[in-house]
Amino acid sequence: MNLVELQTLMDDLYGARDRERGLASSVAWLTEEVGELAQAVRKGSRRQQEHELGDVLAWLASLANQLGVSLEESVKRWASGCPQCGATPCACP
Amino acid sequence: MNLVELQTLMDDLYGARDRERGLASSVAWLTEEVGELAQAVRKGSRRQQEHELGDVLAWLASLANQLGVSLEESVKRWASGCPQCGATPCACP
C-alpha cells in the first residue's frame, strides 16, 4: 500500500467521524496509541507490536487528512539522502 | 512511496545508527517528534505540520525496522473495512 492509498483508506473509513471530533481529539488519540506502542515495545509480543504500529500509522494518516497534508510529500525530504548531511547512510556527526 | 519502500529507505539511511542506539532511544525519539507534531497542529504552519508528520512517520518506520515488523502487514487490518464493525465507513456505535 502506498501512502496516498493509506490516507484514502483512512478517510473512507473514519474521515467524517474524525473531522466531527476535531483535531485536538485526533492528537489525543494519536498520543494514546503511541503510549500503547511504547508498552508493546517494552513487553508486548511481535503481534502486539505490529498491531500498535498499525494503530499509530492509522491515526497519523487520519491527522494528515484533517490537516490537508500529504504523507507522500512529507517523506520526500529523505529521497536523496539524509536531509541534514545529504549522505546515505547518514553521516551526521 | 509504498510502506515497504519507506522502511527500506529509513533502514538504508539510519538503520545501523538506530540499531546501535537501541529500541528505547527510538521510542524516546518517536515520542519527542509526536510532541513536536502536536505543537505544529496547535500553532504551526501547514509546512511545519508536513515536516513534523514526516518526522513521526520516519521514526515509526525506523522503529518497525528494529522490531522486524512490516508496516504493510500492520495496516492490512483495515483493508476490508473497520476492524471492529466491518463497515466502510465505520459504523461503530
Q: Are A71 and B53 in contact (CB under 8 A)?
A: yes
User: How does pLDDT run across B11-21, given as a tens digit for each residue?
Assistant: 999 999 999 99
Which chain B residues contact residue A79 at CB under 8 A?
A: 9
Cell numbers at A37, concatenated: 506502542
| pTM score | 0.97
* CA pair distance A22, B70, nearest whole angstrom: 30
The residue assigned the cell 494519536 is A30
Grouping H, G, I as helix, E, B as strand and the rest as coil, residue A2 is: strand
HSE of B18, CA atoms in CB hemisphere, 13 A: 25
Q: How far apart are the first and last CA of chain A?
A: 34
Provide ipTM, 2 decimals: 0.97
Q: Which of residues 22-41 of B touch A (CB under 8 A)?
A: 23, 27, 30-31, 34, 37-38, 41
Cell numbers at B2, concatenated: 509504498
Q: Digits of tens for pLDDT over chain B (93 positions)?
A: 999 999 999 999 999 999 999 999 999 999 999 999 999 999 999 999 999 999 999 999 999 999 999 999 999 999 999 999 999 999 999
User: Which residue in B53, B88, B90 has the most chain A C-beta atoms within 10 A of its own C-beta, making it the best mutation to test that interface?
Assistant: B53
The chain B residue lying nearest A37, using CA atoms, is B27
State whether A89 and B14 contact (CB < 8 Å).
Answer: yes
DSSP designation for A6: H
